[in-house]
């Protein structure tokens, strides 16, 4: 998805990044780590187009984007959640949310429901000024704003910085769900339920109670195994299902079709690649598939997150 090759960046005459090479595979969470001032933010800013490399290249979805203007990189599918969140304090939550997508000429459609299911608090606070939110809520807003542009690669700079533990957990859960995408949402189970719903739709008489029971079990099971990512959609699904149970065959069949469509949509949702700068070790370990550690502008360690041993941490991360 993203491949950085021998990236060198100088700022105000100082060499900040030296031959940084990183590969971020599709549908994974990659964590860039390192002590303060080693070049993590500079790397992210170079990817999104705020800093220009002096040499090296940045390949995104097979294309060299190192000379591309920042707005074109965003349009190409890079979403950025900067350190400090970048919320406009005098705009409302709603205005803050849509500003990125509107700037890109995108109309947030289904992604909006998905975002409200990931961060329900935003829906409650739509008319509140951005500056009135807590740090954790601002972070959720900043992530949501980036998600509304429907990126293929989501880049986050220290999302847990200065945030209380329960919000950190919520953000971690949201990122896990985003990475997993619809494809990991128990496809077998989903396909079976869709089939059952279609059968229900085509029944000429009121559907057999056994069929309804089976469907009910499947919906509950889906909610248990993978549907936390779209809790609102599944609550809706259950409600609609209840309506099928209570109404006559004709209306019930129409509702069945709605459910089948909803399931089809969930099934086809894509998963996301995430690049994260983070100093909170446990958060990285829980979330990341791979990591790289920077020290004085160079990559000094890399590997799968299982290789992030206490020894590596002591050598490169402990202050
Ligand atoms: N615009 C700039 N001009 C000159 N030097 C800069 C500029 N921005 C950052 N630096 C320097 O580049 C180095 C790397 O900074 P960077 O912000 O990338 O580090 P970091 O690893 O993200 O650290 P932190 O965790 O503290 O944010 C630091 O020494 C910093 O002072």
Ligand 1 pocket residue status of 297, Cβ below 6 Å: no
Name the residue at shortest CA distance from atom 9 of ligand 1.
42
pLDDT at position 257 is 59
Name the residue at shortest CA distance from atom 14 of ligand 1.
39
Ligand 1 pocket residue status of 36, Cβ below 6 Å: yes
Domains detected in the chain: 2-181+270-316 (3.40.50.300), 184-268 (no CATH)
Average pLDDT of the chain to the nearest whole number: 80
Q: In angstroms, rounded to a whole number, what is the distance separating the alpha carbons of residues 112 and 147?
A: 9
Residue from 8, 41, 43, 279 to probe ligand 1 pocket by mutation (most atoms less than 8 Å from CB)? 41
Q: In angstroms, rounded to a whole number, what is the distance separating the alpha carbons of residues 140 and 204?
A: 47
Distance 11 CA to ligand 1 centre (A): 9
The 10s digit of each residue's pLDDT in 204-245 is 555 566 666 666 666 666 655 554 545 555 566 666 666 666
Name the residue at shortest CA distance from atom 10 of ligand 1.
11
Please say whether the beta carbons of 115 and 122 come within 8 A. Answer: yes
Name the residue at shortest CA distance from atom 25 of ligand 1.
36
Q: Which of the two residues, 243 and 292, has the higher pLDDT score?
A: 292
Q: Which of the two residues, 212 and 74, has the higher pLDDT score?
A: 74
Convert 35-60 to b/e letters by CB count within 10 Å (16 or more is b).
Answer: eeebbbbbbbbbbbbebebeebebeb
Burial of 200 (0-12, 13-18, 19+ CB in 10 A): buried
Ligand 1 pocket residue status of 46, Cβ below 6 Å: no
The 10s digit of each residue's pLDDT in 145-186 is 998 888 899 999 998 888 888 888 888 887 877 776 543 444
Atom index in ligand 1 nearest the CA of residue 51 equals 1
The 10s digit of each residue's pLDDT in 13-53 is 899 999 999 999 988 899 999 999 999 999 999 999 999 99
Q: Which of the two residues, 179 and 280, has the higher pLDDT score?
A: 280
Cβ-based neighbours of 205, under 8 Å, separated by 6 or more: 249
Distance 150 CA to ligand 1 centre (A): 29
Beta-bridge partner residues of 157: 277
ipTM of the complex: 0.94
Ligand 1 pocket residue status of 11, Cβ below 6 Å: yes
pLDDT at position 219 is 64
For residue 246, is pLDDT > 60? Answer: yes
Name the residue at shortest CA distance from atom 29 of ligand 1.
37
pLDDT at position 156 is 93
Q: In angstroms, rounded to a whole number, what is the distance separating the alpha carbons of residues 228 and 193?
A: 17
Q: Which of the two residues, 270 and 278, has the higher pLDDT score?
A: 278
Distance 46 CA to ligand 1 centre (A): 12
pLDDT at position 182 is 44
């Amino acid at each position: 998805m993203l491949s950085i090759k021998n990236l060198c960046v100088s700022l105000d005459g100082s060499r900040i990044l030296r031959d940084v090479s990183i590969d971020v595979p599709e549908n994974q969470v990659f964590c860039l780590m390192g002590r303060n001032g080693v070049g993590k933010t500079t790397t992210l800013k170079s990817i999104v187009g705020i800093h220009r490399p002096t040499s090296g290249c940045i390949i995104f979805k097979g294309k060299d984007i190192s000379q591309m203007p920042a707005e074109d990189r965003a349009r190409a599918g890079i979403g950025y959640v900067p350190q400090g969140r970048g919320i406009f304090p005098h705009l409302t939550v709603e205005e803050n949310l849509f500003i990125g997508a509107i700037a890109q000429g995108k109309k947030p459609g289904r992604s909006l429901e998905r975002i409200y299911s990931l961060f329900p608090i935003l829906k409650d606070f739509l008319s509140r000024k951005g500056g009135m939110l807590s740090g954790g809520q601002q972070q959720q807003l900043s992530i949501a704003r980036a998600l509304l542009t429907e990126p293929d690669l989501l880049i986050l700079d220290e999302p847990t910085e200065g945030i209380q533990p329960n919000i950190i957990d919520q953000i971690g859960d949201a990122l896990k769900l985003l990475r997993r995408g619809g494809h990991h949402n128990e496809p077998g189970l989903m396909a079976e339920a869709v089939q059952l719903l279609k059968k229900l739709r085509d029944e000429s008489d009121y559907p057999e109670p056994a069929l309804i029971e089976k469907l009910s079990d499947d919906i509950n099971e889906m909610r248990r195994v993978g549907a936390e990512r779209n809790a609102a959609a599944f609550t809706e699904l259950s409600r609609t299902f209840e309506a099928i149970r209570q109404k006559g065959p004709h209306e019930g069949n129409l509702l069945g079709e709605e459910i089948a469509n909803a399931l089809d949509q969930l099934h086809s949702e894509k998963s996301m690649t995430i690049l994260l700068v983070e100093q909170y070790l446990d958060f990285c370990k829980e979330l990341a598939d791979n990591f790289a550690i920077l020290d004085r502008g160079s990559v000094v360690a890399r590997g799968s997150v299982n290789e992030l041993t206490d020894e590596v941490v002591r050598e490169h991360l402990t202050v």
